Chains A and B, each alone.
Chain A
Amino acid sequence: MRHIISILLENESGALSRVAGLFSARGYNIQSLTVAPTEDPSLSRITLVTSGTDDIVEQITKQLNKLVDVVKVIDLSEAPHVERELLMIKVRATGKDREEMKRLADIFRGHIIDVTDSAYVVELTGTSNKLDSFIAAIDPALILETVRSGVSGIGRGDRMLKV
């Protein structure tokens, strides 16, 4: 089962490596990980996508909570939440592909954020599935480069992860 774990931690050097080290030491997997400071610069927020049985995910949250730098942990995916991931994809855009790529980006509500004679960079935001579908819709021969941010997520309504 896929789980999205949100972690609020002290914005200190080494804090991220404690989290990453915990996952490798205990054999848990990390599918994606994003981290940035919050509105309070003393705190960083990590969104981490992992997979495992309920028992494993319970251990993951308990072990994360044990880290001294970790302030709070929630399993975002166990209740209503929204999640987004950012994709930037550089595609070959010449001849008839130029128009076709523009149309495809529009269908997926992406934006072309860089244009040259031969290439576009398309920016697309959405769930990981949507990004996967977009990539699958493009002729692989046209894909020059992709970069994805990893998932960020937030609980819906009154559900907060705050100090």
Chain B
Amino acid sequence: MSAAISGAEILVKCLQAENVDTIFGYPGGSVLHIYDELFKQDTIHHVLVRHEQAAVHAADAYSRSSQRVGVALVTSGPGLTNAVTGIATAYYDSIPLVVISGQVPTFYIGQDAFQESDAVGITRPCVKHNFLVKDVKDLAETVKKAFHIARSGRPGPVLIDIPKDVTAHRTEFTYPDTVNIRSYNPVVKGHQGQIKKAAHLLLEAKRPMIYSGGGVILSDAADPLTKLARYLGFPITNTLMGLGAYPATDKQFMGMPGMHGTYEANMAMQHCDVLLAIGARFDDRVIGNPEDFATHPRKIIHIDIDPSSISKRVKVDVPIVGNVPDVLEELMKQLEAIGSKPDAAVAQWWETIADWRGRNSLNYRKNPEKIMPQAVVEKLWEVTKGDAFVTSDVGQHQMFAAQYYKFDKPRRWINSGGLGTMGVGLPYAMGVRYANPGATVACVTGEASIQMCIQELSTCKQYNVPVKIINLNNGYLGMVRQWQEMFYENRYSHSYMSSLPDFMKLAEAYGHVGMRIERPEDVGPALELAFSDKHKNDLVFMDFIIDPTANVFPMVSAGKGLSDMVLAEDHL
């Protein structure tokens, strides 16, 4: 019989048993016992952030850029409430996280104690599940369940709220080998009959289209997806959350669909006769107006692990609930068993697509005097040989990065797609770097977003996290300004920021390298220098002063049909 140990020690041993190597956190009264145990061990590296929101974002990106569960540790009350934006961000993109929050002692709960908050209540709508551990005897099993729930099925963040006295109480420690939750049994294998139906439908298709989303990335199904797409020779689009699942430089790749998708991707989504949707959820930014989308006759096959994603916004003909890689493998087997080639009419479909591609919808206005943001991203792609991890914040720069950085590999594009959280870019870059030591990490951001978590420049200095920040500085909340220009007759209500800091000096104040780039001809050399060996170990903050009038095109206005695109050529 082993000796009784404290709840705090049990928690640390649980994390070690889960092979956690990095946690992002911020100490406070309720978690001091836990921090004391972290002090006494050396297998888990703790990264002290400057704001709890960043701790969760970093853990989130750690997960997005690897296939591991990210872990964050925050204290009770404000620690937890600061973490909520991070938790919600992860929830809306189905990212597996375990967030541990301290809580006031059990005997204080409900008495409005100092730094008390109802963590389980506050986070309930934005977690996959959460726990309040009231007895130290339940702690180890709860942690086991939390990791299991976070990473299985449709992944998501799980919160464990631990009162301070529970971390002090002692009991024997055993970490369960297995976990059995009778109410939670995610489906893995897809329905054979449905998969067979899908296989036949695909082979009969005359105008097929593959539409793959974040679920393909989350389930590590890029390889089986690529294999399937190549076997069929069908056009394929990856959503914002799915970029990199199919190589963007391949000729079958149509670009991203949706509000700022390419002309050819959106037209093919509308005019295909068979749409194979994989790990995607037909959200409003992807299909536009669902009624308009539904007026185009097409058969839809939908593969997703979450039954509630199926027929939620769009009626589908062949639903397949299951784990994407398992279903794709089975689909591939069925296709090979049938043995016949896709319909010859697909060749004509490709001709139609070639015409659409001829519109060159990502063409943009060139300006010899001012730096165009699109050009910066294109140059970034060249300089990093298309092989960097790219994080972004939210806004125009996010769309430019998604459109112009051609992602050939999964888990390289890290952004907040569902919740659309400004401020994630820098903490995301930190998280990526911890999950992928030595990797090239670029954070494409804007002067508004970066200021929402800029305090993390300090964390990057403390731990020497040499990420490269590409700040596309137009002085405006660019996307807000674009909408005000298009829908509010140029009334730029509160979208202009004067009194911006000198970002170069700010970076230097934090101990980093700062650059300010104002002329188009300086873009290439600046990026070359920032990503050169000279700055291998430096965080470089590049402040690109860009054309403030640049807009993101193509654009499908909110509520409009997907074919109703405004193209850049109308604005050249």
Contact = CB atoms under 8 A, between A and B. Distances in A.
A136 interface: no
A96 interface: no
B121 interface: yes
Interface string B298-331: 0000000011100110000000000000000000
B149 interface: yes
A10 B121 CA distance: 17
B181 A21 contact: no
Interface residues of A, number: 20
Contact of A71 (B120, B183, B307): B183
Interface string A50-63: 00000100110011
**Which residue among A17, A58, A68, A70 has the maximum number of chain B CB atoms within 10 Å of its CB?**
A68
Contacts, number: 36
B183 A70 contact: yes
A69 B120 CA distance: 14
Contacts of A66: 154, 306, 308
B307 A68 contact: no
A14 interface: yes
A49 to B, nearest CB: 21
B243 to A, nearest CB: 26
Interface string B175-186: 000000111100
Nearest to B121: A17
Interface residues of B, number: 18
A18 interface: yes
B137 to A, nearest CB: 16
A21 B124 contact: yes
Contact of B182 (A13, A55, A58, A163): A163
A65 interface: yes
Contact of A59 (B124, B183, B184, B308): B308
Contacts of B50: none
Contacts of A68: 128-129, 149, 181, 183-184
Interface string B11-49: 000000000000000000000000000000000000000
Contacts of B121: 17
Contacts of B307: 62, 65
Contacts of A18: 124
A14 B311 CA distance: 29
A62 B128 CA distance: 14
Interface of A: 9-10, 13-14, 17-18, 21, 25, 55, 58-59, 62-63, 65-66, 68-71, 163
Interface of B: 120-121, 124-125, 128-129, 132, 149, 154, 181-184, 306-308, 311-312
15 contacts: A13-B132, A14-B124, A14-B132, A21-B124, A58-B311, A59-B308, A59-B312, A62-B307, A62-B308, A63-B308, A65-B307, A65-B308, A68-B181, A68-B183, A70-B183
